[in-house]
Chains A and B, each alone.
Chain A
Amino acid sequence: MKKQYFLNANIIDPLNSIDEVGGLIINENGKIEAVGKKVNKNNIPSREKYIDLKGNHLIPGIVDMRVFVGEPGFEYKENFRTLSEASLSGGVTSVVTMPNTNPVIDNVSIVDFLKRRGRDKAKINIFPTATLTKNLEGTNMTEFGLLQAKGIVGFTDGYKTIQNTRLMSRIMRSAYDLNSLVMQHVEDEELARDGMVNDGIISTQLGLQGISSLAEKIIIERDLTLLEEFNCRYHISQISSEKSLEVIKRKKEIVDFTCGVSINNLSLNENDIGDFRTFLKLSPPLRTENDRLALIKGLSNDLIDVIVSDHKPEDEEQKRLTFAQASTGASGVETLLPLALELYHNESVKLNKIIKTLTCNPAKILKINKGNLNIGNDADFCIIDINKPWIVKKENLISKSKNTSIEGRKLQGKVTNTFVKGEELFRV
């Protein structure tokens, strides 16, 4: 690989407190050699070519903490190759994959398969999670230690919640012993049973079973109460309501934990479901505008640490059904950053904070050396034309599944180039 030089970029690297116009030098091994305002024309040998980024933004590659891939078992929805291509087009260079596959990721032998497929088919960095319980049954825990030794970064039952309180306390104790990361989808199964949308006037009018925000709040209360006793690395995968934030605010003063939010819950509300739009059947459900605004405020107040895409590819057949029968989830890895930039353009969240929640914050929770522009690190980064207007059209999506929640949305800001280990793998 030849040495590469980039100049005149608006560089944002929250981990290193870089937010300035400058340059980036990548060495022959695809590692970062120098970054920041000190990199200018004078650092570059005159015979070398450089790329003038003309003020475009350069940020660390995004770390998306919640991505469902169809491999193994649902390759027709998404495989590692299509996930990789879709991610690159959205500036995402690292993804944390959920274990809800078929078979589920709950034992050491399947992890080898996963890592091999990920390595051979994906050009981005794949960080797999395993389940908290065997076969997602919520009864017996998996081998956190052995799985971790194989490269599993965290444990979660994906879209399922550990309902049994005793089991949860034991999981936390084991996770404490083995220094494992527990990521919980927070929803009381009984309260949310048969639920499809937020419980409120919209569910009443549409005649759909509602999910009360209490279902989320109760599990958060329970888990954080347990956590006071059994202090492990604990992460709330996604929250959706103002009520949950009240608990989080109170508990942040007592225990250490982290919290995520889906870009869907930051950008849409229950009214968007309109005439039974099944692409907006999500978990957690879209809630009220008031909840959405509270979540945005939660980001600014550091009550929420990361934004995820909650990328859940579903083929058309699973969505061309009545709302009750349609599957849950939306594709979103490639629109995560552009949609998050909406919060910057409408002045609800500072740009630096948005980038932080998409890069170094998730990396820190996962304890992986990604999401930064540290000298000597792999040059994983992307370049953004932050003002470029464009419209989301499902036929232009790269992901194998086209179930976007924001079809037709006008966005501002597009990833123009994405690099992994110094290699340009996407160019608009």
Chain B
Amino acid sequence: MANVNKAIKISQKHLLGIQDLSISDVNIILSEAKQFIGLNKSKNKKLDILRGKTQINLFFEPSTRTLSSFELAGKRLGADVMSMNLNNSAIKKGETLIDTAMTLNAMHPDIIVVRHQDSGASNLLSQKVNCSVLNAGDGRREHPTQALLDALTIIDRKKKIEGLKIAICGDIVHSRVARSNIYLLNMLGAEVNIIGPSNLMPKDIDKLGVKTFSDMKKGIKDCDIVMMLRLQNERMTSSFLSSNREYYEYYGLTPDKLEFAKEDALIMHPGPMNRGIEIDTKLADDINKSVIKEQVELGVAVRMACLKIFCE
């Protein structure tokens, strides 16, 4: 039944980025995901929707939460899940992404979930394998399931996205989460503010239909959602910032800056957090304001939905 629905509904074979999705694609994924939220809270979490299917998680970059989330999602749906944490081990032996793809393709997987440090890696992989490819993050380009789980979290708490004012703050230039969220939140009718120091802003980002701010208080003003991003020190090859302490002073989310947002504003963060650098540690743990744990929880549901929909 699910397969029949898929053939009619979803427009893409692969989930490479939010950019490729239509609004109806997004609604299909989100409504499917909603059905798994309850299941994930119940005692018996196992389904057999993907029984007999093989899911390969191909991770070239270190990851704990995304990898475990995808692994758990696949297992709860009954798929045979294999996770390959390559972290350049094959690359070091001289094997290219395409070689790896061809090798895996020969094992007839039904779906490959890929994370890679280079932008466009999932696109390249999708051209070389027969099965569907889910992008679990490619370089700075896209991280579609993160944006989808963020949207689901917002909808779960605010009951809508249209008309909300959402601030995305921090290291925008290195962030695939920011890019995917900009596309998705724009598509769903939110007003998006992008906040960060000029050194961490990608060129011409305003052309994506967002407002940019280097003054955090102005950017955060009257926002319903404040989404903080991780400072990606591992991608910074030269001096972008003077110090973490100055960054925290101007761009860290603190109670006094949060005052400028709406009173019932929610705090989000894709994790892992640098506490005391981009976010005040008490705020991060404030269950009345922070939905960071909920993001993780709904992440499994979104990934289950994606696996179900894109798995042939």
Contacts and interface: CB of A to CB of B under 8 A. Distances in A.
Interface stretch (A179-187, A316-324, A407-415): A316-324
Interface in B229-266: 237-238
A205 B204 CA distance: 10
A276 interface: yes
A201 B141 contact: no
A45 interface: no
Nearest to A277: B120
A207 B203 contact: no
B208 A320 contact: no
B207 interface: yes
A207 B120 CA distance: 8
B96 interface: yes
Contact of A204 (B97, B138, B139, B205): B205
B140 interface: yes
B200 to A, nearest CB: 13
Interface residues of B, number: 26
Interface stretch (A67-75, A80-88, A192-200, A359-367): A192-200
B138 A321 contact: no
Contact of B203 (A200, A317, A321, A322): A200
B119 A207 contact: yes
B116 A322 contact: yes
Nearest to B172: A204
Contact of B138 (A203, A207, A210): A207
Contacts of B142: 207
B93 to A, nearest CB: 15
Interface string B195-233: 000000011110110000000000000000000000000
A199 B139 CA distance: 17
A207 B97 CA distance: 18
Name the residue in A193, A203, A207, A210 with the highest tally of chain B Cβ atoms < 10 Å from its Cβ.
A207
A275 B97 CA distance: 17
A206 B120 contact: yes
B123 interface: yes
A323 B96 CA distance: 12
A193 B139 CA distance: 17
Nearest to B125: A322
Contact of B207 (A201, A206, A275): A201
B121 to A, nearest CB: 5
A208 interface: yes
Name the residue in B19, B120, B140, B202 with the highest tally of chain A Cβ atoms < 10 Å from its Cβ.
B120
B202 A324 contact: no
Contacts of A206: 119-120, 141
Given A194-B237, A201-B204, A276-B124, A207 B96 contact: no
A387 interface: no
A43 interface: no
Contact of A207 (B140, B207, B208, B238): B140
Contacts of B204: 200-201, 204
Interface string A229-244: 0000000000000000
A199 B141 contact: no
B269 interface: no
B123 A276 contact: yes
B201 to A, nearest CB: 9
A194 B119 CA distance: 13
Interface string A259-288: 000000000000000011000000000000
A205 B179 contact: yes
B124 A322 contact: yes
Interface string A309-338: 000000001001111110000000000000
Interface of A: 193-194, 199-201, 203-208, 210, 212, 275-276, 317, 320-325
10 closest cross-chain pairs (CB), A and B: A207-B141, A207-B140, A207-B119, A322-B118, A276-B120, A204-B202, A201-B204, A324-B118, A201-B207, A199-B203
25 contacts: A194-B237, A199-B203, A200-B203, A201-B204, A201-B208, A204-B179, A204-B207, A205-B19, A207-B141, A208-B119, A276-B119, A276-B123, A276-B124, A317-B96, A320-B96, A320-B98, A321-B98, A322-B97, A322-B116, A322-B121, A322-B124, A323-B120, A324-B118, A324-B139, A325-B96
Given A205-B179, A275-B123, A322-B124, 15 more contacts: A200-B203, A201-B203, A201-B208, A203-B202, A206-B119, A206-B141, A210-B202, A210-B203, A276-B119, A276-B123, A320-B98, A321-B97, A322-B120, A324-B118, A324-B139
